[in-house]
Structure 1
Amino acid sequence: MKVLGIMLSLAAAPVAAADIVHFTTEDYPPYNFRVGSEIRGAGYDQVLLMMEDIKVPYTIEMMPWARAIALAETEKMHCVFTTAHIPERDKKFKWVEPVAVGRNFMVAHKGSGIKVANIEEARNHIVGTQRNDYTQTLLENEGFPKIDLATDLKLTLKKLQSKRIDLMPISEQHYIELQEKGEELEAQFVFSEQKFAIACNADFPEELLARMQGALDKLIENGTQAEIFETYNLRYSNFGLVAANP
């Protein structure tokens, strides 16, 4: 693993700054997260292997999500991961995918007494998420009138635990992980399903994008992606909310 924020250059010869791919990401386990000064995760590991395969120099930096995705929108050689590929983002970026496929559960704090079976019922509650996350867009599109925005997922979770919000959408994988750690969460219903990807600037070079996609395809075809998922205990419940009520 590499130290957070350092240059991960894999080319033998010096290259111009314009040829360096700059990746940004956020703290969003199990896809990307900090362990001390390192970044790890199922998305992060795939990016490392892809870039090692194509021998292109790059950097990876972890930062708040709003800034991470804004850089990919505005800077030609920037890409952001692990990014949900939703219709509202489709034309804003060029895509390398799939890094993963996932679902979001709408969850409440266990013992809150809140029971909602669908989006219509959930609209009656205060729902929290992180600012500029794709779940904010989903909530807005579904007409949620009371959306509480925080800078990151951890702060939103703290608000749920302290009953400052009633509900929050959370990835299935992270939900299972938090339950195993003893967090008092209760899934209510499947809020969304989406493909996770690497989103690159709309002007990102097509030839380089194709090489990155080819490297990811190789990871999928030779079973490496599945092995990475296993490493990070990525698994899926059989909704029915099997994971919600073990």
Structure 2
Amino acid sequence: MRKLLFLVFWGLASIAHAETISFITEDYPPFAYRDGKDIKGATIDEINAIMADIGTPYTIDVMPWARAYTLAQTTPFTCAFVTAHNAERDKLFKWVEPLLIDHNILIKHTGSDVQAKDLDEARKYVVGTWRQDYTETLLRQANFPKIDVAADFKSTMKKLVSDRIDLMPISEFYFQKLQQEGQPIEPVTLLASQPMGISCQKDFPDDLLAKMQAALNRLIADGRQKQMFLQYGLKLDN
């Protein structure tokens, strides 16, 4: 009987691990974006390398961040990326990290009269962000009184360059990329720094999570992670 029960439980575990992992992210080039029917980006390359290493079936989809964030909390075998790991989110997910260490800065539209050498001075301005992004939490924790929340990153950027908001937070990596492309934006002040990783639903199998973490560790240790980012014009400093 014990042998039979063992075989049953072993079979159930095998079936569970045969599940396809659903990775979901937002349109946030050059980290993740659609290019026709393909999904590309520096963090997409990281996910592909991790999963190729461990040999587990998976899918990747791009959707609004608010939806991705909610699905990663509620749907088994689902992971969102790239998710900022902070104290508020720590116990909401199981984590694989870091896909990168990011510095988040406040930027303005080039030519605007906005001036702020620190967060105290920045608080007098209207700051835009997008729904369910961790920067909304950062701004509220920093006691910013005037926060404009849009549907997504692109909507917030449109508001900034049309002067409907004064400031917005952005990854320093992405800021450098946009500035190189000629976008009319300028840095103002540092908002925060944090590790960015893969956030998986809380029932995600621990052994599978450990394999993913080990694969990412190898990716970092052998220099492949930095090379992936360099291909998109991004230089990691972690």
- Tell me the TM-score normalized by structure 2: 0.90
TM-aligned CA distance change 1:130 to 1:18, over 3 Å: farther
The aligned amino acid for 1:223 is: G
Q: 1:188 maps to what in 2?
A: 188
Q: 1:5 maps to what in 2?
A: none
Partner SS for 1:45: helix
> How far has the Cα of 1:18 moved from its partner?
6.6
Are the counterparts in 2 of residues 96 and 198 from structure 1 also a CA contact under 8 Å?
yes
> How far has the Cα of 1:89 moved from its partner?
0.6
Are the counterparts in 2 of residues 172 and 236 from structure 1 also a CA contact under 8 Å?
no
1:19-168 to 2 correspondence within 5 Å?
Answer: 19-168=19-168
Hey, what's the Cα distance between the residues in 1 that align with 2:18 and 2:128? 39
> How far has the Cα of 1:173 moved from its partner?
1.0
Partner SS for 1:170: strand
Hey, what's the Cα distance between the residues in 2 that align with 1:134 and 1:74? 18
Identity among equivalent positions (%) equals 49
Q: 1:169-196, CA deviations, whole angstroms, 9 ceiling, x for partnerless residues? A: 1111111111111111110111111111
Are the counterparts in 2 of residues 96 and 199 from structure 1 also a CA contact under 8 Å?
yes
Matched residues, number: 224
Hey, what's the Cα distance between the residues in 2 that align with 1:236 and 1:92? 27
Q: 1:224 maps to what in 2?
A: 224
The aligned amino acid for 1:210 is: A
> How far has the Cα of 1:236 moved from its partner?
6.3
Q: 1:215 maps to what in 2?
A: 215
The aligned amino acid for 2:128 is: G
Hey, what's the Cα distance between the residues in 2 that align with 1:33 and 1:100? 17
**Structure 1 residue runs without a partner (length 5+):** 1-13, 238-246
Hey, what's the Cα distance between the residues in 2 that align with 1:196 and 1:212? 15
The aligned amino acid for 2:59 is: T
Q: 1:27-86, CA deviations, whole angstroms, 9 ceiling, x for partnerless residues? A: 112211121221111111111111111111111111000000100011121100111111
Are the counterparts in 1 of residues 128 and 168 from structure 2 also a CA contact under 8 Å?
yes
**Structure 2 residue runs without a partner (length 5+):** 1-13
Partner SS for 1:22: strand
- Tell me the TM-score normalized by structure 1: 0.87
CA RMSD of aligned residues (A): 1.7
Q: 1:221-243, CA deviations, whole angstroms, 9 ceiling, x for partnerless residues? A: 12111110111111269xxxxxx
TM-aligned CA distance change 1:236 to 1:21, over 3 Å: closer
Are the counterparts in 2 of residues 30 and 173 from structure 1 also a CA contact under 8 Å?
no
Q: In the alignment, is residue 203 of structure 1 matched against residue 235 of structure 2?
A: no
Are the counterparts in 1 of residues 46 and 99 from structure 2 also a CA contact under 8 Å?
yes
Are the counterparts in 1 of residues 100 and 236 from structure 2 also a CA contact under 8 Å?
no
Which of 1 and 2 has greater Rg?
Answer: 2
Hey, what's the Cα distance between the residues in 1 that align with 2:86 and 2:196? 9
Are the counterparts in 1 of residues 109 and 185 from structure 2 also a CA contact under 8 Å?
yes
Q: 1:6 maps to what in 2?
A: none
> How far has the Cα of 1:17 moved from its partner?
8.9
Are the counterparts in 1 of residues 18 and 56 from structure 2 also a CA contact under 8 Å?
no
Are the counterparts in 2 of residues 125 and 166 from structure 1 also a CA contact under 8 Å?
yes
Hey, what's the Cα distance between the residues in 2 that align with 1:182 and 1:223? 30
Hey, what's the Cα distance between the residues in 2 that align with 1:16 and 1:186? 49
The aligned amino acid for 2:144 is: F
Hey, what's the Cα distance between the residues in 2 that align with 1:113 and 1:36? 39
Hey, what's the Cα distance between the residues in 2 that align with 1:38 and 1:65? 19
Hey, what's the Cα distance between the residues in 1 that align with 2:236 and 2:118? 20
Partner SS for 1:87: coil
After TM superposition, which residue ranges in structure 1, 4 or more long, deviate above 6 angstroms? 14-18
